[in-house]
Amino acid sequence: MADPGAKPLVAATMRRAALSPAGLVSPHTLSWIGIGSNRGRALSLCRRAVARLRGHPCLRVVVLSPWYRTEPVGPVRQSWYINGVVGVESRLGPQALLRLLHRVEARFGRNRRREKRWGPRRLDLDLLFCGDRVVRCRLLQLPHPRLHQRRFVLRPLADIAPDFVHPRFGKTVDTLLQEVDDTARVERLPQCGTDFRQESGDLVAHCDGTRFPRLPVLASRIGLTIAWIDP
């Protein structure tokens, strides 16, 4: 059944993109999005958020990391998080993609104006990289300015993009993970994957180790190196 909230979200995204010179970029830009939640049914929320992204016509979900249970970072006492990373192919520029992510967060109940800094999050969608773009403006910084300090981001990202090079530091994600000083615990959840099948028949990676024969074709087309993940 079609999501009744999908059409307004799609229309708003396209209107915003059309108004901005940076709204649309060339096809096949690969972006990496961090996903997290520690309120309610956190794992279910994260999976539903990925499904929402997958259903958007401006995006193509390419690869999904394993899910991790992660120790909170910061001074606020709170529940542990569920975290993961998803790779999406999109023609949306960085600002338009960020606005889309914020609208998805809002649809899942997040209110950025009322939440406490370092506090619990019903849903957190962080734009980590948008290709190799470097952006510095009031509302957006790319790459994400703190991702290299966060094990809960680097661990799942390294599972699916270990050789991706940080455009500012010139280091691979795997190297950043080895060098990070963050001692917060990050525990992989067992058997946590979800099969996502594009309407075109393309398949994305499955984090419990299932291998899909058509994925190398898709990965080759967008220049993505897939690291198969064994359980």
Phi and psi at residue 84, to the nearest 5°: -160, 180
Of 60, 99, 110, 155, catalytic: 110
Catalytic site residue 121? yes
Give the tokens for residue 98. 């960020």
CA 57 to chain centroid, in Å, comes to: 17
Q: Which long-range contacts (CB under 8 A, 24 or more apart) does 110-117 make?
A: 116/76
Of 124, 150, 151, 155, catalytic: 124
Of 52, 99, 121, 150, catalytic: 121
* DSSP-assigned letter for residue 228: -
Question: Do 55 and 7 touch, CB atoms closer than 8 A?
Answer: no
Of 52, 69, 126, 151, catalytic: 126
Rounded CA separation 154/143 (Å): 13
Catalytic site residue 182? no
* Dihedral Cα 203, 152, 96, 11, nearest 10 deg: 60
Rounded CA separation 93/86 (Å): 17
Give the tokens for residue 214. 């058509």
Rounded CA separation 30/104 (Å): 19
Rounded CA separation 38/79 (Å): 6
Rounded CA separation 19/2 (Å): 27
Which residues are catalytically annotated?
110, 121, 124, 126
